[in-house]
Structure 1
């Protein structure tokens, strides 16, 4: 079904009373880091932490009165479920959500707190959707698709209306792609209002369903793979969203998990904001140098969500530090006699690094019982500093195992 600028403008009027206009400030540190003039559209500031509220409220308000009383259901990894649960509660519409088993625990718990009936079913979105379809038939619920429903797409497109009011001279909008509902809505509105603006989509390499659809000339199911960007873990892009977005997108790139982790770390350190993996993907593409044509351009990053599980965040921070060269692990053979560890520590300290953790591996250190392998986790300033430390250890007679 077509979605037009008129639909998106109507959605903006419809949801205005329940959806705040989120800020879109310029980020000086991210601009310095990437070489583009970067603005961050902070939709992680929505009440439930993501842009999904826009489409959810629009779709709920479009329901006939009789259906509002029966309620709605959706399969979702989390953010669509949160948006439906919150606005269903505000509007008095019963909401049931079916989540696949990889949904972050924080999203499951929050949905329940917002009054939704939550069912965790299936190993992927397709299995969760199948479970939801059973309840559609059994209970007369309306299924609200998280990224392929025209009302959802129109609601997500309201973000572009705000962006172009806040940054009217923007050269590009870079947004993540999962099921493609957000990128479709953004592209429809942005291209209608400013035809020369670039709209660029960023996927996780682990879940590149839009790129697979482009190669296949239509949506195709891809294998499930683990990703930090659980919000992008859609195995089959929406057919409607794909057809709407395909002719409007200037480029689609896929970013690795390491760059997503590093982008989460950069947002935390430089922008003092917590983002989930999906929201970090656009910055990850810039950091990875995958969009060199945006150097010197005014670029808006769609920071679409901040619902990352705290336990996952701690692991991601460490992965980001490793990718940044600020956390390293070295295996060094030292003397197992008194003073061996002290000598190693002196070299590390003199190089300006810090030991976070150290363990002795005696059982697998070789035939010389006077030697032991020391497995050291060290903190350094950056990748160059870590290389300098390796050279200093080698010069001091402590070769580092590869």
Structure 2
């Protein structure tokens, strides 16, 4: 069987893809003799989810509970919702909003699966917004011996930090428990052409002026092309954010992150307020977001290194720019998860490359030489040329994670691709 990831830049090695409809069927797969890996929405651009054995998707799994299940012990709402791990964020967010609840943040795409995004520390943007994994307060996973285990932050504080961003190395996650908030409204305004020197000097004021802020560039441009401000709107629809004088002009028509592309697939802009789940992501669930084949990379580094990072990228912009569709700059708040790259206030430089694999692989070492000395870490699900052992050494608690993986998967049947290289003896 041949199947590929979402962008078609990777052909998986698995001999079979199964979609169990019951926990019993999942246990049969997990207790077999072959290697097993969970597969989500296939939005990873590297082989972090790959295996030579069996791929398992849990989106059709029915464990006898609603796919989106508010947890109400003794009839009292906890603000926590238990969801099928294979659902996409867009599907879950619509269900939550309909019940008056919301999530604190979303990634740029609503098309990604809950478990896959959580396992790889995928994130949105916002000075006070943590990664998507940080809203997880519990999860259920089935280990290779067929045991279904529930782990929560309150009941398992010694290991929970290692169980969320887990790269699928501990078991197949069947349900995820997410902390929710009351639903809220967001408006989206886009500024154009912010000078680079002002963007760096006013960075704190710019990113602090709205709930979620993202900037788009190709690095070889004379200024930052667009800055997207997603502001809490309130009942009155809100106002444009109070930004520094360096933000001089506002877009008068909707824009797309990729220059010249029709913005029809993007969430509504021009300050029109709407539900959080229709604004925090850049793209609408009902549209295919890609402008075509692409390759993605991302590097996350300490926010205090922002000025040096911009300077380093601008220095290689003539090399990087011609291969880029776009690059996005985002901010992320810290958390305490073992394999999260966000152990202090952080910035992410995200790269959406043209689908020219050999040329991209040739230029990535230049990007990594610019950013890795500043404390950057590659995103777990994106393309990089950083050696797996070197990547593991960037995480102080990786040895603890290895021990946890050895305990839950002693035969190493959940190890393949990048995970196999990370945990190799």
What TM-score range do you get, normalising by the shorter chain?
under 0.3
Q: Which has the higher contact order (CA 8 A, sep 6+)?
A: 2
The structure where strand makes up a greater share of residues is 2
Scaled by the length of structure 1, the TM-score of the pair is 0.24
Scaled by the length of structure 2, the TM-score of the pair is 0.23
The structure where helix makes up a greater share of residues is 1
